[in-house]
Structure 1
Amino acid sequence: MKTERLLGIIMILLDRKQISATKLAELFEVSVRTIYRDINSLSEAGVPVTALPGVNGGIQIMDNYKIDKHFFTSTDITSLLIALESLSSNVSAVQANQTAEKIKTLVPDHLSEEIKLKSHQISIDLTPWTSNQPLQPFLETIKSGMERHQLLRFDYSDNQGMKTTRTVEPYRLVLKEISWYLQAFCLERNDFRTFKLSRISHLDLLEKAFTPREFQPKPLGKEPFYGKKWTTITLKVTYKVKEQLVDKFGQLDFIETPEVDKIIVEFPFMEDDFGYHLLMGFGNQCECLGPDHVRDELKRRFEELLHIYQN
């Protein structure tokens, strides 16, 4: 969000005194043009920032500048507090709470009650229905490795159950839906790799430090949603399944049927294990009406499953 980025730019300038627009763009993962727009926004808001041209130039902030409490509106501060609250359940709650307390010092006295009320009107809970507490020690260990530039070693099982031992340079933690991922440079593969934390075991922080290399954050591009061909299939589902489909895939076109509790939907289907397991997981609340080859494959998989329980 722009407000958090503006605050971040100010904090960096107060700490470093001068930094290039290119470096700021890399830090916040935006374009250089966006950074210059942010600098203009700060200047218009009365923050004494300047951009100096030339080889030794960069963006600076006036010495001894302090943030005016009136720089942030109640909406700005509320947004920051809500974001921090959502993070506290996935990262160190102590760290998030300490940051929240610092932000609260920016609140003018006459806005204190208003911001307290607004910050409790919206709650973002990123925790899964089942607890992710066992991953918390992993998160703290990986964060230590990133902050101190120390190598990590762990055992890793891929989606086929193949186990390997990896030594990596940690660069980034990513939370996607309810799963955490580590983006790191793998010394065994001599390349950047993405590791799902739930597949990691025996994680150790090594004493050996590494020199950070250039890291370009990449979207996960996680299968099966990228790089594969979709097949449109027709499903007859209950309203309970409808809710689950909308949660996972967004709004779809549903058509009512003469059956009170059933509706029909044209569904973008991935013809792999993920897709078939998804449909089978709906049980008797979902029927594939076509195409025939998808319906026949579902029959075959259900017959295999039935055979297991008949023996």
Structure 2
Amino acid sequence: MKTERLLAIIMILLDKKQISASQLAETLEVSVRTIYRDITSLSEAGIPVTTTPGVNGGIQIMDNYKIDKQFFTSADITSLLIALESLSTNVSPIQISQTFEKIKTLVPAGFMEEIEFKTNQIAIDLTPWTSNHTLQPFLEVIKSAMDQQRLLRFHYEDNKGRQTTRIIEPYRLVLKEISWYLQAYCTEKLDFRTFKISRMNDLELLPTTFIPREFQPQPLGKEPFYGKDFTTITLKVTHKIKEQLIDKFGQLNFFSTDSDLFMVKFPFMEDEFGYNLLLGFGNQCECLDPPHVRAELKNRIGELLELYQ
């Protein structure tokens, strides 16, 4: 992580003539002390970084400085290219192509073949199995609004079906699993809010600009298994469900049975997320214990059956 952070500091300093340590710390989400340690590391590596004390002071890099190609190892550039490739489905192909070409100019002589070989060893495909034709245009509009510091207006439907019209100052796009979110300042609520992009309609880029506020990256809420009380339940699942549980929750202790099924003790959350998860497995998953969880599943299955009678 330190190498990536040092590279980010160089790129920021090349883009901005001067920036304070606190601004760098906020941008990179580390402490000011860490920033000063990084600046020392860059200086020791021969990067001409200087600091100026005082109200109008800050950190800067020597004018006309250019990065030495030897500063990057083949591993560094491989990591950058793999990261760019993973974004290619959500960022303009032209923009990605231009960035690729710029990074390739940093490749040390004789290393291109090795880097291309290593880059092809890892593929990160963030494309969802089902397509959302409105997502890409929405992302482009939002990125334009952030670049130009312009307001956005859209109709929004929350998770309870309530519809509102919002005007916001956009600050940050976040990809969480397969869903995109926009963190922004809402001019109606007079506070920062997080909006799920799939719940937006009639997105409009307004001509009005805004002066950026001090923004702190907002968490998207607690992770499903954080800060919750678990109930240990016993499941009997097929191989397919075993694989899905490992994908979502890591290695669990599965025990095979005589009927090509698997038994597992599973940390279960007794809420809508938990019950919907189990019901989504259909007839390939059976809850054996405890009795009250099994009874609640039977009750929910009964309500579903009534709906289709």
Q: Same fold (TM over 0.5)?
A: yes
Deviation per residue, 1:80-116 (Å, 9 max, x gap): 1111111111222221221111010011221111111
Distance 1:5 1:94, change over 3 A: farther
Shift of 1:44: 2.5
Q: Aligned letter for 2:277?
A: L
Residue number in structure 2 paired with 1:145: 145
Deviation per residue, 1:172-221 (Å, 9 max, x gap): 10000010001111122222111111111111111112221111102211
Q: Distance in 2 between matches of 1:226 and 1:166?
A: 31
Residue number in structure 1 paired with 2:10: 10
Deviation per residue, 1:9-62 (Å, 9 max, x gap): 222222322221111111112221222222222222221112333444322222
Q: Distance in 1 between matches of 2:87 and 2:137?
A: 16
Residue number in structure 1 paired with 2:261: 262
Q: Distance in 2 between matches of 1:222 and 1:140?
A: 28
Q: Distance in 2 between matches of 1:154 and 1:226?
A: 32
Q: Aligned letter for 2:295?
A: D
Residue number in structure 2 paired with 1:211: 211
Deviation per residue, 1:276-298 (Å, 9 max, x gap): 11111111111111211111111
Distance 1:225 1:161, change over 3 A: farther
Shift of 1:226: 4.8
Shift of 1:261: 1.5
Q: Distance in 1 between matches of 2:211 and 2:171?
A: 11
Residue number in structure 1 paired with 2:304: 305
Deviation per residue, 1:112-165 (Å, 9 max, x gap): 111111111111111111124420010011111111111111111111222111
Q: Distance in 1 between matches of 2:308 and 2:278?
A: 20
Is the contact made by 1:88 and 1:97 (CA closer than 8 Å) also made in structure 2? no
| Matching of residues 43-82 of structure 1 within 5 Å | 43-82=43-82
Gaps of 5+ in 1: none
Residue number in structure 1 paired with 2:276: 277
Is the contact made by 1:238 and 1:286 (CA closer than 8 Å) also made in structure 2? yes
Q: Aligned letter for 1:274?
A: F
Is the contact made by 1:255 and 1:265 (CA closer than 8 Å) also made in structure 2? yes
Match of 1:208, SS?
A: strand
Q: Distance in 1 between matches of 2:305 and 2:65?
A: 72
Q: Distance in 2 between matches of 1:165 and 1:39?
A: 45
Query: Structure 1 runs of 4+ off > 6 angstroms?
Result: none
Whether 1:40 and 2:36 are equivalent positions in the alignment is: no
Q: Distance in 2 between matches of 1:209 and 1:52?
A: 32
Deviation per residue, 1:235-261 (Å, 9 max, x gap): 11111101111111222222233x242
| Matching of residues 247-258 of structure 1 within 5 Å | 247-257=247-257
Q: Distance in 2 between matches of 1:57 and 1:210?
A: 26
Q: Distance in 1 between matches of 2:118 and 2:275?
A: 44
- Compare 144-153 and 89-98 and name the one that shifted more: 89-98
Q: Aligned letter for 2:61?
A: I
Q: Distance in 2 between matches of 1:277 and 1:308?
A: 16
Residue number in structure 2 paired with 1:124: 124
Q: Distance in 2 between matches of 1:167 and 1:31?
A: 33
Shift of 1:223: 6.9
Q: Distance in 2 between matches of 1:157 and 1:229?
A: 30
- Compare 150-159 and 247-256 and name the one that shifted more: 247-256
Match of 2:134, SS?
A: helix
- Compare 88-97 and 110-119 and name the one that shifted more: 88-97
Q: Distance in 1 between matches of 2:266 and 2:189?
A: 38
Aligned residues: 309
Q: Aligned letter for 1:165?
A: T
Q: Distance in 1 between matches of 2:274 and 2:259?
A: 27
Residue number in structure 1 paired with 2:95: 95
Q: Distance in 2 between matches of 1:131 and 1:284?
A: 27
Residue number in structure 2 paired with 1:240: 240
Distance 1:67 1:282, change over 3 A: same
Residue number in structure 2 paired with 1:176: 176
Q: CA RMSD in A?
A: 1.7
Percentage of matched positions with identical amino acids: 74
